[in-house]
Amino acid sequence: MPAARTPRIPVEERLFSLVLALLATETGLTKTEILSTVQGYRQRWSAGDNAALERQFERDKDDIRELGVPLETLEEPGSSGNNQNLRYRIPRGAYELPDDITFSSEETALLTLAAMVWQEGSVSGESRRALLKLRSLGGATGVPELAYAPRIRSRDTAFDPLRTALDRSVVVRFPYLKPGEASARERRVAPYALVQFQGRWMCSAIEQESGGRRTFLLSRITGPVVVTNEVVDRPTDANAETSLADLEALWDAQTALVRVDPASDAETRLAKRRGTTRLDDHRLVVHFSDRHLLADELASYGPEAFVESPADVQGLVRERLALLVADHVHPTLGGV
């Protein structure tokens, strides 16, 4: 059986974990302690030859110093010239914001809102476990940055396992109910981005059977997400930025012409949607990325909104309204 491949840790994850680890210690950490415990190094560390990993650490030190991080090197008393006994740390006072930098109430509000949108994006579960292990070495202090790390509040139970799969660069399996299909079908994919678009969480992934890129709405995942140990390499252009760009392009390209009742709830809400244009007092051009989601919304307005085009969205709205009528017809009376 071939040896399990080492999960790919993004460079930014490794550098961020290194900074947090060096902030968390007052006395500093030796190179061995760093390489054996910090996320991004420990996956490749062994009790034998770590020459390549040590070279990577030296490059990383240069990189974070270039970013303005004040990384210090301390010599152990009586061990002058012994590089293995050097200790590394980031002094907290030198890394904190200067006293003359302040934020206005508006800027603070924006930072707070940004923090509410993002949960584990800055510190993965692996990084947190590594920091706990570092604290067990002794001499470590609390890291306020962790307390201020952004948090995502997601009601989709699929979010956490998909995030874990992203951290590990592994394949997942889950049942997915595609609109129009009678039952869910198992999908086997390699996630490369979790994004929130138009208020909904979506997972962009590469389907393993076809190799095609797909976007899955988390609310349509109908069962547990199984995280496998099958590590995969992601293309360099498979990331959250390209995922959002694709969704934006779809949003810009797809529009529906909707006739609304003036001063109605439908008119108020649809007119405020991003990108909506008004043709006259009764008609709006509305952008959308998913026709089924748009049909759900338009059907909720009842007679206040009527889809003039495209025909497929008009048909989906009619189907939803017909089901609503059927659900309210008493089976023993034959109608109301």
Mean pLDDT of all residues belonging to the chain: 80
Predicted pLDDT at 174: 96
pLDDT top residue among 299 and 329: 299
Residue 6 pLDDT grade (very low, low, confident, very high; cuts 50, 70, 90): low
Residue 217 pLDDT grade (very low, low, confident, very high; cuts 50, 70, 90): very high
89 residue type, one letter: R
Percent of the chain with pLDDT over 90: 33
Predicted pLDDT at 83: 67
Considering only CA atoms, which of 220, 217, 215 is closest in space to residue 191? 215
Percent of the chain with pLDDT over 70: 75
274-299: per-residue pLDDT in tens?
899 999 879 999 999 999 999 999 99
Q: What is the mean pLDDT of residues 247-269?
A: 93
Q: Is residue 139 pLDDT above 70, yes or no?
A: no
Structure tokens at 64: 């974070």
Cα 154 to Cα 119: distance, rounded to the nearest angstrom: 9
Predicted pLDDT at 67: 78
Predicted pLDDT at 21: 85
Listed range (27-31, 34-38, 135-139, 159-163) with the worst mean pLDDT:
135-139
* Beta carbons within 8 Å of 216's beta carbon, 6+ residues apart: 176, 187, 189, 202, 203, 204, 205
Residue spans per domain, the chain: 11-147, 159-247, 254-327
Q: Is residue 144 pLDDT above 70, yes or no?
A: no
Q: Which CATH number does 159-247 carry?
A: 2.30.30
Predicted pLDDT at 108: 64
Residue 148 pLDDT grade (very low, low, confident, very high; cuts 50, 70, 90): very low
Give the β-pairing of 170-176 and 87-89: unpaired
Backbone angles phi, psi at 196, to 5 degrees: -105, 125
pLDDT top residue among 325 and 222: 222
Predicted pLDDT at 146: 47
- Encode burial over 95-129: b for 16+ CB neighbours within 10 A, e otherwise: eeeeeeeeeeeeeeeeeeeeeeeebbebbbebbbe
Predicted pLDDT at 173: 96
Predicted pLDDT at 149: 46
Predicted pLDDT at 335: 46
Predicted pLDDT at 328: 72
69-81: per-residue pLDDT in tens?
888 888 876 666 6
Other C-beta atoms closer than 10 Å to the C-beta of 28 total 19
pTM for this prediction: 0.56
* Dihedral over alpha carbons 182, 184, 189, 194 (to 10 degrees): 90
43-97: per-residue pLDDT in tens?
888 877 888 888 899 999 888 888 778 888 888 766 666 666 788 988 877 766 6
